[in-house]
Amino acid sequence: MTKKIAFQGEPGAFSHAAAHNLFPDEEAVGCVTFEETIAAVQTGRADLAVVPVENSLYGRITDIHHLLPESGLFIIGETYLRVEMNLLGLPGTRLEDIRAVQSLSVALGQCRRFIAERGLRTINGVDTAGSARQVSEAGDRSVAAIASRFAAEIYNLDVLASNIEDAEHNTTRFLVLSRDKVEASSATGKVKTTFVFRVRNVPAALYKAMGGFATNGVNMTKLESYMVGGAFTATQFYADIEGHPEDRSVQLAFEELGFFTDYFRILGVYPKTENH
C-alpha cells in the first residue's frame, strides 16, 4: 500500500525533493505551512512528514523547533539535501534571452553574484517551486526561475545554468516524522537521539546538566535554546547526541541530566546519516 509523505511547499520544492529522495515510490503531499504539514501526520492524512530542521547557511528552522516538541510526533530518520540553485527557463530558451529572474527572496539572495554579473531584474516569488510553476505557465521567454532541478522536471523547464548559488556548502538537514514511535536498534550502527529538556532554576544548572555528557564521552552535536510560553524565564533546550538511550554512557549522562532538569522528553532515536 502506497504511503503518503507530507512536505511543506509546492511540488518541486526542496522539501519535496528531500521527500522524494527518501521515499521515491510513495505519494508526496504538499502542504502550505509547517503547521499543516505536521497536522497531516497527526490526523492521519499522511503517514509521515519530511521537514527541514536546519540549514548550513541560515541555521535552525525556528518554526520546527517550536512545533515539533508539542506535536506528539516522533523523529524516525534524517537526511541531508545539498541545495543546488538552478536557472530554469521555458524549453528552447537560451541563457542570453533571460532579462529577469523570479524566486523566493532567500534564493535570490543566495545567487547575487550570478544575477549581478548578468544584470538581471529580480522578481520576488512566494517560493522556488511556485516561481518555476509561474514561469512555466506565463510563457515569457525573458523570465526564468531559480529553483531545483526537480522543479525543472515537474514543470517541463530547461536548466539554463546549474549550481548558480554563491556558497557551495548550502545544505539542509531534514527530519522524518511519524505518529508511531519507531526507535533504531542500538545494534544497527551509528544512532542519534534527539530530546528536549528544561533546566531547574538553580545556579549553573545548564553547565552542570551538560557535564554528564562530557564526563561520559557522549558527543552532543546540537544544542538550541528557545523560549516557551512567551516567558523570558522559561527556556527549553533542544539537543541531538550521538548514541542510543540503551548505551551505558548515555544512560549515565541522562541520569546526571535528571538532577538539574524539571522536564525531559526524547523525541526520537534514529539512524545517523552522514552529510556528504
Residue 122 bears catalytic tag: no
The per-residue pLDDT for 167 is: 83
The per-residue pLDDT for 51 is: 95
Beta bridge mates, 103: 124
Residue 261 bears catalytic tag: no
Question: Which structural domains are found in the chain, ordered by start?
Answer: 4-83+170-178 (3.40.190.10), 86-161 (3.40.190.10), 191-271 (3.30.70.260)
- Cα gap 167→28, rounded to integer Å: 29
Q: Which of 23, 34, 174, 254 is flagged as catalytic? A: 174
Task: Specify whether the CB–CB gap between 157 and 12 falls below 8 A.
Answer: no
Task: Specify whether the CB–CB gap between 197 and 237 falls below 8 A.
Answer: yes
Q: Which of 37, 93, 172, 261 is flagged as catalytic? A: 172
Q: Residue-wise over 44-78: b if at least 16 C-beta within 10 A, else e?
A: eebbbbbbbbbbeeeebbebbbbbbbebebbbbbb
The per-residue pLDDT for 138 is: 94
Total Cβ atoms within 10 A of residue 186: 14
Q: How many residues does the chain have?
A: 276
Sign of CA dihedral 261, 273, 5, 225: positive
The per-residue pLDDT for 221 is: 93
In DSSP notation, the chain reads ---EEEEESSTTSHHHHHHHHH-TTSEEEEESSHHHHHHHHHTTS-SEEEEEEEETTTEE-HHHHHHHHHH--EEEEEEEEE---EEEESTT--GGG--EEEEEHHHHHHTHHHHHHTTPEEEEES-HHHHHHHHHHH--TTEEEEE-HHHHHHTT-EEEES---S-TT-EEEEEEEESS--PPPTTSS-EEEEEEEEE-SSTTHHHHHHHHHHHTT--EEEEEEEESTT-TT-EEEEEEEES-TTSHHHHHHHHHHHTTEEEEEEEEEEE-----
The per-residue pLDDT for 163 is: 93
The per-residue pLDDT for 230 is: 60
What cell does 158 get?
Answer: 530547461
Q: What is the pLDDT along the chain (276 residues), one digit of tens a residue?
A: 899 999 999 999 999 999 999 999 999 999 999 999 999 999 999 999 999 998 888 778 777 878 888 899 999 999 999 989 999 999 999 999 999 999 988 899 889 999 999 999 999 988 899 999 999 999 999 999 999 999 999 999 999 999 999 988 889 999 999 999 999 988 778 999 999 999 887 778 888 889 999 999 999 999 988 776 665 555 789 999 999 999 999 999 999 999 989 899 999 999 999 875
